[in-house]
Structure 1
Amino acid sequence: MDGWKKYKILPSVTAAQTALESGWGQNISGKNNFLGIKGQPGTLCWTQEDGPNGTYSTQAYFKDFASFSDCLEYHNILLGTNPIYKPVVGQRDYTKVTAYLQGTYATSKVYTRSLNGIISSFGLTSWDQEAFNETDFPHAAVDTSVITIKYIQNYGVLAFNDSGASIGGSNKTFIDGTKWQTAGSKIINGEEMYQVSPNEYIPKQYTTIGADGTVTINYTQGYGVLGYHLNGASIPGSNQTLKTGSVWKTSGAATINGQIMYKIATDEYVPKEFTQFGNGK
């Protein structure tokens, strides 16, 4: 997944290469080298190559890695930054990627067919789609129609009324792990709370939806959004920092210019509609 997020290399192809190059983990060339990457420092190994006159055996150095994850990262950097592999970067059709890798990454005349067979047999394109869903912006808004209380196990949290007063005894009802339908949200006591009954609200921070206290900028890929001061004025140039996909720690919320915004700095707020809780439009 990181290979696509960071370098736009398809997860399906990387997984298939790992299986093929390592003989499903049984024939590893070089320490922790599951991807058949040649280079030094490394281990001298025999290898089969295809040439103009047929298949032949030769010796080559295969790089050594401290771990499999290091090998994987090196592979993604290699394909993602080396000009030789530029045609595969960002390519979403795995068949075009595997076709290009035959003759560039490997000499085997059946390399493309072998990789395609693995990807097809094991449904690895589902990993590609998962990676696309995580990186293609704007995303669909997070579903907040039902919330789950997240607090200390077997304990509950207090609900509040719309005047900001806590509701005595409500923590015996809103127990950790319980689920509640919502009817929207509003700013109470400087934070967003979800309405779970006519005049009962649960702080977002005590739900699975808001437990990590962060917001992700959800807007058109490659762009950013403007932040705002509490007085409603936009902050010039803030769209250069609040880039799509960037994650920000929040410390409260406010209603500004008639809409909910999340506080991400001393006097800087980002509109809810441009976070994972909005549609980015």
Structure 2
Amino acid sequence: MTKKILFKLALSLAAVVALVGLVMGIMSEEASKSVTAETGYTGQTASGLIAAIGESARQIGQDYNLYASVMIAQAILESNNGQSALSQSPYYNYFGIKGDYYGNSVTMPTWEDDGTGTTFEIDQAFRSYGTVSGSLYDYAALLSTDTYAGTWKSNTNSYADATAALTGLYATDTLYANKLNSIIETYGLTTYDQPLYTQDPYQSGVSSSEIGSGDYVWNVHRGAYTDSDTLAQDDAWSAYTSRNE
């Protein structure tokens, strides 16, 4: 075999090796993307989660005699701003509700409090919903049972009574009410405890059709309807000024 032929064979072999390496690299990159999409950080913030579920929570609260402020605060706390694995697709369990939902569940590790402030980790089966709305309405159905009568608007004077009733019952965390109250106050969530149309929509210069589209919410800070981003900014500024008074 001549040197020329050997040289051509060597080039061919190198090309095959390079091609295999390229294919393997692409496969590895795609696998990495798949893992990131399933378990990676969503980039969602508390304000983003509030904007996403706030109006649904407002309506559900009105329909089920519940505080929407408490509902949203629990979603923020239990799902870590919508970043927890349990709150991601395909489970959408924003409230850490255990058990199964029409036979659907997922087992995940969770931290519990023994009632004295000491925490420990165990594996638990949690409900899997498949949709965000399924999670919201199942939460409302759960809190509508007699077990949680202490959280109903008709049985309380404020959201603080409801969060106190949840402590030791819904969650074993002895500081559960304090955490929820802090979230509610920080983000001004009590505005969601009121019906959407509590004021003349034309007062803000926003037409009724625009308000009905869901793009605008009542901004208690301005006494008018604004978009959700403006409300979130006003909530943050209010919380900042309150802390520095």
TM-score where L is the length of structure 1 = 0.46
Q: Which residue of 2 aligns with 1:34?
A: 94
Counterpart of 1:58 (choices 119, 122, 131) is 122
Are the equivalent residues in 2 in contact too, given 1:3–1:10 (CA < 8 A)?
no
Name the CA shift for 1:122/1:89 in 2 (closer, same or farther; >3 Å): same
Higher relative contact order (CA 8 A, sep 6+): 2
Q: Which residue of 1 aligns with 2:63?
A: 6
Counterpart of 2:131 (choices 52, 59, 67) is 67
Are the equivalent residues in 2 in contact too, given 1:10–1:92 (CA < 8 A)?
no
SS, match of residue 29 in structure 1: helix
Q: Which residue of 2 aligns with 1:89?
A: 152
Q: Which residue of 2 aligns with 1:120?
A: 185
Name the CA shift for 1:12/1:92 in 2 (closer, same or farther; >3 Å): farther
Are the equivalent residues in 2 in contact too, given 1:28–1:34 (CA < 8 A)?
no
Counterpart of 2:168 (choices 103, 106, 115) is 103
SS, match of residue 194 in structure 2: helix
Instruction: State the AA in 2 paired with 1:58.
Output: I
Q: Which residue of 2 aligns with 1:257?
A: none
Segments of 5+ residues of structure 1 without an aligned counterpart are 135-139, 149-176, 178-207, 213-281
Q: Which residue of 2 aligns with 1:259?
A: none
Instruction: State the AA in 1 paired with 2:178.
Output: R
Name the CA shift for 1:52/1:100 in 2 (closer, same or farther; >3 Å): closer
For residue 84 of structure 1, report the CA deviation from its aligned partner. Answer: 0.5
For residue 110 of structure 1, report the CA deviation from its aligned partner. Answer: 1.2
SS, match of residue 126 in structure 1: helix
Aligned equivalents of 2:186 and 2:115: distance in 1? 31
Aligned equivalents of 2:73 and 2:126: distance in 1? 19
For residue 130 of structure 1, report the CA deviation from its aligned partner. Answer: 3.7
* Percent of residue pairs identical: 30
Aligned equivalents of 1:143 and 1:78: distance in 2? 34
Aligned equivalents of 1:130 and 1:92: distance in 2? 17
Aligned residue pairs: how many?
142
Segments of 5+ residues of structure 2 without an aligned counterpart are 1-57, 213-245
For residue 123 of structure 1, report the CA deviation from its aligned partner. Answer: 0.6
For residue 143 of structure 1, report the CA deviation from its aligned partner. Answer: 9.0
The correspondence of residues 1-281 of structure 1 with structure 2, limited to 5 A, is 1-29=58-86, 31-40=91-100, 41-52=104-115, 54-80=118-144, 82-90=145-153, 91-130=156-195
SS, match of residue 26 in structure 1: coil
Instruction: State the AA in 2 paired with 1:49.
Output: E
TM-score where L is the length of structure 2 = 0.52
For residue 3 of structure 1, report the CA deviation from its aligned partner. Answer: 2.0
Instruction: State the AA in 2 paired with 1:6.
Output: D
More helix by share: 2
Instruction: State the AA in 2 paired with 1:87.
Output: G
Name the CA shift for 1:143/1:26 in 2 (closer, same or farther; >3 Å): closer
Aligned equivalents of 2:114 and 2:201: distance in 1? 55
Aligned equivalents of 2:82 and 2:159: distance in 1? 22
Aligned equivalents of 1:33 and 1:111: distance in 2? 18
